[in-house]
Amino acid sequence: MNNEEEYQLAPLACPRCDQEFDIAEGQWEYTCESCGHRVDNMQAQFAYSRGYDAYFAGQRVFMEIPPSRRSRVAYAEQAHVGTKLYTEAYTAIQEAFQSNLAESQCYKAIEIMASIANRFIQTELISPLEANYWTSLIIEQVNRKELEDLSLRLSQPTTGLLSPLARLRWRMRKRQLEKGLVRVGRRIHLIEQNIAFATPPRVRKVSSGRIGAYNA
């Protein structure tokens, strides 16, 4: 992570078109200048921003602790501060997921939750089932992105002697990804049932034709 990324504030974004925007201090209403959509999830936007900033602040704290000394008493206070920031981030992102986020935000938020869950499972702050949930969502979104890229590639003409062989490999990989997405989707659905969310987080893409369309 470079310094620019490290200190960059979380961008607010339109849930419909993914266009980033800025607001004035104290502003709670916004109409997207790109698509005209009225952004009515400002509370979720601010929760996402809080979670994003707390996560990277916590990450900086943990990065300052030498990996071989993270269990030492001398670093216990730093570890406590880092864990507190991660907890704030985890809670804020959960709040943000009660509303539809923009696609870019949803991708980043899932990455953050999976990263925090990986640390929390080591200290039993969350259950293995919950950690598995966020890991499965990461797998789903990575595979979905590859599938979308392959579909776009297959929709375009190719030239050259090796192009038929390349297209055959792409189609085979596309079928693998489609089957894999069905399996991971079933696993995620089963985990959601077992966790029994009071209000399921809106973390999964409903339609690839709608940018930023996510739901539980």
What digits encode the pLDDT tens for the residues 27-40? 888 999 999 999 88
What is the DSSP pairing of strand 30-31 with strand 12-13?
Answer: unpaired
State the pTM of this model. 0.82
Is the model's pLDDT at 216 over the cut of 80? no
User: Which residue is listed with tokens 């200190």?
Assistant: 7
Q: Burial of 151 by CB count in 10 Å (0-12 exposed, 13-18 middle, 19+ buried)?
A: middle
Please give the C-alpha separations between residue 44 and each of 8, 23, 92, 164, 204, in angstroms, as whole numbers: 19, 14, 9, 47, 16
DSSP state of 214: E
Whether residue 45 contacts residue 12, with contact meaning beta carbons closer than 8 Å, is answered with yes
Mean pLDDT of 85-103: 95
The number of angstroms, rounded, from the C-alpha of 213 to the middle of its chain's C-alpha atoms is: 14
Whether residue 61 contacts residue 176, with contact meaning beta carbons closer than 8 Å, is answered with no
Q: What is the pLDDT of residue 196?
A: 82
Is the model's pLDDT at 7 over the cut of 50? no
Whether residue 127 contacts residue 134, with contact meaning beta carbons closer than 8 Å, is answered with no
The tally of CA atoms less than 13 A away on the side-chain side of residue 196 is 1
Q: What is the pLDDT of residue 72?
A: 65
pLDDT tens track for 137-181 = 999 999 999 999 999 999 988 777 778 899 999 999 999 999 999
Determine the Cα–Cα distance for residues 109 and 103; give it in Å rounded to an integer: 10
User: Which residue is listed with tokens 């501060």?
Assistant: 81
Q: What is the pLDDT of residue 28?
A: 84
Angle between the N-to-C axes of helices 103-122 and 128-154, in degrees from 0 to 180, rounded to the nearest 10: 150
Is the model's pLDDT at 48 over the cut of 60? yes
